[in-house]
């Protein structure tokens, strides 16, 4: 009581007790609800993982079927949201379109506004929460697909609720389609694995933003839009786009040493390297590297992989990076997969945002249902001027 600790950038502050995701950054361990990420990536699928994250247990058969059915039957977005999206510039950044459209969705579901239902409906009613959770998980891939179609100047496609989550997403993109607009099954599975890996990562910047905004008891569309804005930044989910632009700039393996010299002189930042928590190889990066080779077999080897491998090889044996425990993170290889799959570079952060919605929602539920929950309101250390008197403009220098 009364003691304030100055902790810039929350480097040492725990603001929640959570049962969702466990990370041991020194050992390179990541588990969702106790299940190792490697096992989930191999055996599970994204929709099952989203259930696990949000409700705490793996679903049984009946629960899983109800869950996936509900989500797939909420994939249509309001026609006015589509109209709104059509008004963006043709070259609008897909992540900007994504954030604005999710935010706009709250206005098309006015019953989602807690002010109309006694303010704390999300705190007290599991039905009210699940209704919006299912809608958000269903609609997010559709909004993302419209962003993509808009970006490439093509008409939007409607969802197909009888398909799997990633299959339907690729179908709406009509990207990498084979017969009857159906996506390649192996690529849909590769994307599903990427979605599992990106689904949650405890209190990263965007998830902390989700909890922060959610603590006001606002509707989850507005909170997800805020969390997605945090994800957009190049130090967070925008890093996959930044990595690819960096690899393109380096161009070939021979240029790697010179680029790393610039990093060591602090003129540049090595994108896709380093992490607040991992001081060891990011376990997700290891799995993603494997997925990259599987995707390359279908889509062709992305030549920039040679630059990435050389960067990793030299950095991991260089004192500067070893001393600071800088290892490749999740964004280092994901961009190469997306590039090989032919996605536009500015669409990469959206591919991160879609699955992270389930993590945000899991944290939203956990935080607002905590009986001791309060509005988040950090303190500051004021270091500005003391009291002074107003000076009329004509007397100012
Ligand atoms: N390139 C060069 N130097 C780095 C990097 C990097 N990517 N990351 C950290 N360092 C250095 C940093 O300069 C500092 O050195 P010194 O102690 O001599 O000043 C030391 O390593 C510690 O770094 P920090 O800035 O205190 O670390 P942080 O926890 O504040 O930042 C980070 C974490 C992820 C923002 C940072 O590592 C970074 O900017 N990485 C590049 C962007 C990136 O790949 N982001 C994706 C993160 S993973 C997935 C996600 O969240 O989206």
Q: DSSP for 279-290?
A: SS--HHHHHHHH
Our answer to whether residue 78 is catalytic in this structure is no
pLDDT band at 342 (very low <50, low <70, confident <90, very high): confident
Catalytic residue among 78, 109, 236, 318: 236
Residue 327's Cβ-side half-sphere holds a number of Cα atoms within 13 Å equal to: 18
Ligand 1 close to Cβ of residue 215 (< 6 A): no
Cβ–ligand 1 distance for 74 under 6 Å, the answer no
Q: What is the DSSP letter of 118?
A: T
240 with 348: CB under 8 angstroms?
A: yes
What is the Cα–Cα distance from 97 to 80, expressed in whole angstroms?
14
CA of 271 from ligand 1 middle (Å) equals: 8
Q: Is 74 a catalytic residue?
A: no
Task: For residues 161-170, give the mean pLDDT.
Answer: 96
**Coil, strand, or helix at residue 32?**
strand
Q: Which of these is catalytic: 200, 275, 282, 363?
A: 275
Q: Give the model confidence (pLDDT) of 213-239 as tens digits.
A: 999 999 999 999 999 999 999 999 989
pLDDT recorded at residue 309: 92
Distance set, CA 279 to CA 75, 335, 360 (Å): 39, 22, 24
Which of the four pLDDT bands, split at 50, 70 and 90, describes residue 2? low
Percent of the chain with pLDDT over 90: 83
Average pLDDT, the chain: 94
Choose among 182, 193, 149, 186: nearest CA to 343.
Answer: 149
pLDDT (0 to 100) of residue 280: 86
Neighbour tally for 235: CB within 10 Å: 13
Give yes or no for residue 389 having a pLDDT over 90. Answer: yes
- In this predicted structure, which of 87-96, 109-118, 250-259, 364-373 has the lowest mean pLDDT? 109-118
Alpha carbon of residue 90 to chain centroid: 24
What is the pLDDT at residue 1? 54
């Amino acid at each position: 009581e009364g003691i304030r600790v100055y902790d810039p950038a929350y480097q040492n502050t725990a603001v929640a007790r959570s049962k969702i995701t466990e990370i041991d950054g020194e050992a390179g361990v990541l588990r969702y609800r106790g299940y190792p990420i490697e096992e989930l990536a191999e055996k599970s699928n994204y929709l099952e993982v989203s259930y696990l994250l949000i409700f705490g247990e793996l679903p049984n058969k009946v629960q899983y079927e109800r869950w996936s059915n509900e989500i797939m039957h909420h994939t249509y977005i309001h026609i006015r949201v589509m109209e709104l999206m059509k008004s963006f510039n043709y070259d609008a950044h897909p992540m900007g379109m994504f954030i604005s459209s999710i935010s706009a969705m709250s206005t098309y579901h006015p019953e989602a506004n807690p002010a109309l239902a006694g303010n704390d409906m999300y705190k007290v009613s599991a039905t009210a929460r699940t209704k919006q959770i299912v809608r958000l998980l269903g609609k997010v891939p559709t909004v993302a697909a419209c962003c993509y179609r808009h970006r490439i100047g093509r008409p939007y496609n409607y969802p197909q609720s009888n398909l799997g989550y990633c299959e339907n997403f690729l179908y709406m993109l009509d990207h990498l389609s084979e017969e009857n607009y159906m996506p390649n099954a192996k690529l849909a599975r590769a994307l599903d694995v990427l979605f599992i890996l990106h689904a949650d990562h405890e209190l990263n910047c965007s998830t902390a933003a989700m909890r922060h905004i959610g603590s006001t008891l606002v509707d989850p569309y507005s909170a997800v839009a805020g969390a997605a804005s945090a994800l957009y930044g190049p130090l967070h989910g925008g890093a996959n786009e930044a990595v690819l632009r960096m690899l393109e700039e380096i161009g070939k393996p021979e240029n790697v040493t010179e680029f790393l010299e610039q990093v060591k002189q602090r003129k540049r930042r090595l994108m896709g390297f380093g992490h607040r928590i991992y001081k060891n190889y990011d376990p997700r990066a290891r799995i993603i590297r494997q997925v990259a080779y599987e995707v390359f077999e279908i889509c062709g080897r992305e030549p920039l992989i040679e630059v990435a491998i050389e960067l990793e090889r030299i950095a991991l044996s260089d004192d500067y990076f070893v001393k600071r425990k800088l290892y490749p993170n999740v964004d280092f290889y994901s961009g190469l997969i997306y590039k090989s799959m032919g996605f536009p570079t500015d669409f990469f952060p959206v591919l991160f945002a879609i699955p992270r919605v389930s993590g945000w929602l899991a944290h939203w539920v956990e935080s607002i249902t905590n009986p001791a929950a309060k509005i988040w309101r950090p303190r500051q250390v004021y270091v500005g001027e003391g009291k002074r008197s107003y000076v009329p403009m004509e007397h100012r220098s």
